[in-house]
Structure 1
């Protein structure tokens, strides 16, 4: 049983760049809700307790916590949103993914992982991944501290996970 909701206008399909991805089955308007992430609240270090093939899927919802259905034996549909340095989706609150611009039928839905991932102080979990999204300004290396980059703060204003937005607000 799925623990998250995926807009019925979206479908998991083969992605040229990522193996699997989520694609628009019809045109989608800016602001439309694309997904609601659900599951169990886990300490970030509990990611290590998940089967290895599922450890990349939890969604960080707070500096020390992630959201994931720990009873799943395989990824659920919302686990296939891929990263892009030029995303068409962003976060609203803690658990909603929304369109940040109009999205055309057939387009892959992506978001920048900087919108949801931060360093977790005191944790042995460190996030870093290579990126080959093809965007002319691709960062090439995605890290847990990318949300601190001034250009991303400006570009994604209003689309960071609430806990990251709270950290940004404290610094400004």
Structure 2
């Protein structure tokens, strides 16, 4: 009898939740320790473009929580050319996840703090 590989439960790869931010409005927070280099969000991250305009799809409530990352000049989350978000350093449970918008958004306001 062939042994089956153990299944991964969907929630085992969940590292963050949305919450109230001290930086600005809503933010994303670690729900457990996240080791440096860990891919933080599932593969449903996508770039949404309607003509020349960026915006949410009709299924907005199904979008990744990455949309709620707040900007920081000293981020703990990085983003590669494929919009894969990963931990730049070890992140502790409860810590707000932040990204430098300028590294992946050519339209980011240069005056953002």
Same fold per superposition (TM over 0.5): yes
**Alpha-carbon distance between aligned partners in 2 of 1:116 and 1:12, rounded to the nearest angstrom:** 21
**Alpha-carbon distance between aligned partners in 2 of 1:118 and 1:93, rounded to the nearest angstrom:** 12
**Comparing both chains, which one has the higher relative contact order based on Cα–Cα distances under 8 Å and sequence gaps of 6 or more?**
2
Partner of 2:3: none
Aligned residues: 98
In structure 2, runs of 5+ residues without a counterpart are 1-12
- Please state how far the C-alpha of 1:42 moved relative to its aligned partner: 3.8
8 Å contact 2:23–2:70 — kept in the other structure?
no
- Please state how far the C-alpha of 1:28 moved relative to its aligned partner: 0.6
8 Å contact 2:17–2:31 — kept in the other structure?
yes
- Alignment of 1:128 with 2:109, yes or no, is yes
In structure 1, runs of 5+ residues without a counterpart are 1-6, 48-54, 56-68, 120-126, 130-140, 144-172
Greater per-residue strand proportion: 1
Partner of 2:46: 38
8 Å contact 2:81–2:104 — kept in the other structure?
no
RMSD between superposed Cα atoms in Å: 2.5
Deviations 1:16-72 (A, max 9, x none): 2211111001111000001241254444x223xxxxxxx5xxxxxxxxxxxxx5223
TM-score by length of 1: 0.49
TM-score by length of 2: 0.72
Distance 1:19 1:39, change over 3 A: same
Greater per-residue helix proportion: 1
